[in-house]
Every structure is written in C-alpha cells, then in structure tokens.
C-alpha cells in the first residue's frame, strides 16, 4: 500500500512510532524503521549530547528514514535543533509549542516537519506555517494533552476537514483494528506510543513495562489540568495530585507536588509509586512485551485482515 504518508517519509507502512520521553531512544527508533515503519527518537528527555549519541547510533543501526521529536518548549531547544541539522536528520516531529518559530530553518535544510496538534484550529495553523503533515492526537493519548479533551474518534474527521496536508491519527491506537478505524475516519497514517513503550527495545524501566501490560480500564486519567494536562497512570504520586486537585489546589501548589524529574523517576528508574508514569488509555489493551518489529508486522497484518473483513460485510 502506497499513500501520502508512505510517500512523504519514504517508508513501507504508514505506521509511526511516537517520540516518547524515557522510552524511545535509538534502539526503539531504529527497530521500528528497520521494520518498515517510521521510528522517532524522543529528544524531550535528552541532554543535547545524549541526543547526538542517539542520532549517531540510530544512523549506524538503520539505513531507513527515522525522525526526531522536538518538544518546542524544551529549554535547550537551540542546541537540539543545531544537532538535528548538523547530523542531517531528515524528518522532525515538533510538539508543545508553535512550529512557526522554527519551520523556516528546518525547511532551508530540507527537513520535513510534522507538528502534533490536539485541535483543528492548531492543525490549520501548522498547515499555514508550512508543515508537511500533522499528527492529530486525541484525549486518550498518554503524556501531554490538549485542553479541549477531544477524543481521537471526534478529532480526526475535524482535522481532516480543516487541512489538505496528510493527517496522522494518534491516541488510543495500539492494534491494526484501531489503525483501520483511524483510516475509516480519514487518517493517512497512525502514530502509536503506548504499545511501543512496552516493546523490548523501549528504554523504559522493565517495572514500568510490566505495569503497562497489567493495567486495566480507568488506570490512566488526565491530571494536572491547571498546569498542563497530562495523562498518567494512577499510583501514589497520582493520588497526591488528585487529592490536591480535589481540594482546589492552585497551579503553583500542583507544581510543588510535581517537583522535578518525576517522569524519569517513574518511567526510566522504575519507581512506580513516586514516579510520573505517562501512558495512554490503550495500555489496557496491551498485554505483552514484544520486539518492535513484531509489533509493526502484527499491526499491519491486522489492518489488512480487518480491511478484508469489513469489505466482506
């Protein structure tokens, strides 16, 4: 199957592995790219030098295209972008900020830019700024999230209707059936986080991976809405946040509880009680830790079989 996303990125399957802090380093990104999807290095949890190492190792591990995800509010953003350009990374996924600020420098260097949005308004802005595609990410997605709380089911048709550039659906997608659902809604590709966070090649702590595959419905919720909405797993730390929110804590009080390096503590160091465990609702569907290549192939086969089943209906 060829479509606008496979053509844009020169990949085999329109399956993109989300850039995730503490989960998606060079090992995961290169494994996904080698399997025919698009792997993404998540730079949000990396110091500039670490990012450079990951890019170099990724280049050494795959000849296929891969991307780097850049949260635009990252403090050392200039250094990150310099490294991306110096190392001639060809695809960048930007998030959490305005792509307009950086798009011309990327475009001048022939870098394809995809921006992550949670509303059709921001999708339109990304298109107007010159982005090559958007990721439309629904309420069910893990990590940072939009204030409108629009779910993938509702969001994809709205974004599709608002822009001409290709739309990559994200949030709640871990299987070929969900990929097919996203395509039925008008998506040209899917971005998958949670399922790959629990892959062999994910750099997440094994305790966190185990927590993902044993989690159930309702085990993640959107919290920290007064600061920035983040979907995370229920645990001791989450309960502290929720209790504070229930009694009407201010943004400053919440920031105090959040403290520093909570995501690293939970996702990378495996402190399941005190760490911040960013993950999507779809974790309730993920039951096994598998190699990334197997995940890509499984999703693709399910997608094809689902397509045939629907057609025969």
Closest CB 151 distance from a copy of itself, rounded Å:
4
Closest CB 306 distance from a copy of itself, rounded Å:
6
Measured between alpha carbons, how far is 35 from 134 in angstroms, rounded to an integer?
A: 23
Q: From residue 288, give the alpha-carbon distance in Å to each of 124, 200, 295.
A: 37, 10, 10
Angle at 233 between CA 137 and CA 245, to 5 degrees: 95
User: Does the CA dihedral 228-234-235-241 come out positive or negative?
Assistant: positive
CB 172 within 8 A of CB 281: yes
Which residues, 6 or more positions from 7, have their beta carbon under 8 angstroms from its beta carbon?
none
Applying CB under 8 A, among 19, 99, 172, 229 the residue interacting with a copy of itself is: 172
Q: By C-beta, is 148 or 269 nearer to a copy of itself?
A: 148
DSSP, collapsed to helix, strand or coil, labels residue 76 as coil
Binding segment toward a copy of itself, per CB under 8 A, in 45-53, 70-78, 105-113, 115-123: 115-123
Interface with a copy of itself includes 13 (CB under 8 A)?
A: no
Interface with a copy of itself includes 294 (CB under 8 A)?
A: no
Sole residue written with tokens 């097919």: 180
Which residues, 6 or more positions from 74, have their beta carbon under 8 angstroms from its beta carbon?
43, 44, 80
Q: Site map for a copy of itself, 253-292, x if CB under 8 A?
A: ----------------------------xx-xx-------
Binding segment toward a copy of itself, per CB under 8 A, in 18-26, 42-50, 75-83, 173-181: 173-181
Interface with a copy of itself includes 151 (CB under 8 A)?
A: yes
Interface with a copy of itself includes 140 (CB under 8 A)?
A: yes
Applying CB under 8 A, among 164, 247, 252, 260 the residue interacting with a copy of itself is: 247
Measured between alpha carbons, how far is 178 from 174 in angstroms, rounded to an integer?
A: 7
Interface with a copy of itself includes 181 (CB under 8 A)?
A: yes
Residues that bind a copy of itself (CB under 8 A): 1, 3, 119-121, 138-140, 147-155, 157-158, 171-173, 175, 177-178, 180-186, 217-218, 221-222, 226, 246-249, 281-282, 284-285, 306-308, 310-311, 313
């Amino acid at each position: 199957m060829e479509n606008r996303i496979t053509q844009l990125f020169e990949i085999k399957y329109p399956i993109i592995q989300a850039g995730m802090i503490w989960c998606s380093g060079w090992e995961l990104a290169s494994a996904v790219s080698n399997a025919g999807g698009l792997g993404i290095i998540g730079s949000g949890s990396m110091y500039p030098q670490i990012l450079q190492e990951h890019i170099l190792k990724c280049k050494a591990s795959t000849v296929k295209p891969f991307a780097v995800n850049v949260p635009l509010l990252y403090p050392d953003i200039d250094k990150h972008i310099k490294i991306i350009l110096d190392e001639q990374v060809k695809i960048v996924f930007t998030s959490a900020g305005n792509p307009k600020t950086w798009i011309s420098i990327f475009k001048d260097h022939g870098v394809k830019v995809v921006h992550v949005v949670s509303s059709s308004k921001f999708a339109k802005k990304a298109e107007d700024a010159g982005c090559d595609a958007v990721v439309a990410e629904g309420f069910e997605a893990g990590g940072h999230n939009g204030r409108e709380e629009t779910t993938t089911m509702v969001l994809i048709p709205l974004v599709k209707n608002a822009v001409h550039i290709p739309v990559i659906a994200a949030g709640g997608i871990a299987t070929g059936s969900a990929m097919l659902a996203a395509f039925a809604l008008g998506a040209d590709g899917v971005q998958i986080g949670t399922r790959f966070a629990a892959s062999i090649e994910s750099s997440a702590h094994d305790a966190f991976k185990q927590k993902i595959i044993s989690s159930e419905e309702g085990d993640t919720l959107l919290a920290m809405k007064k600061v920035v909405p983040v979907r995370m797993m229920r645990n001791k730390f989450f309960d502290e946040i929720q209790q504070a929110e229930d009694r009407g804590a201010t943004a400053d009080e919440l920031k105090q509880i959040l403290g520093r390096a909570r995501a690293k503590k939970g996702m990378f160091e495996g402190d399941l009680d005190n760490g911040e465990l960013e993950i999507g609702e779809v974790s309730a569907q993920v039951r096994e830790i598998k190699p990334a290549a197997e995940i890509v192939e499984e999703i693709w086969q399910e997608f094809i079989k689902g397509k045939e089943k629907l057609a025969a209906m």
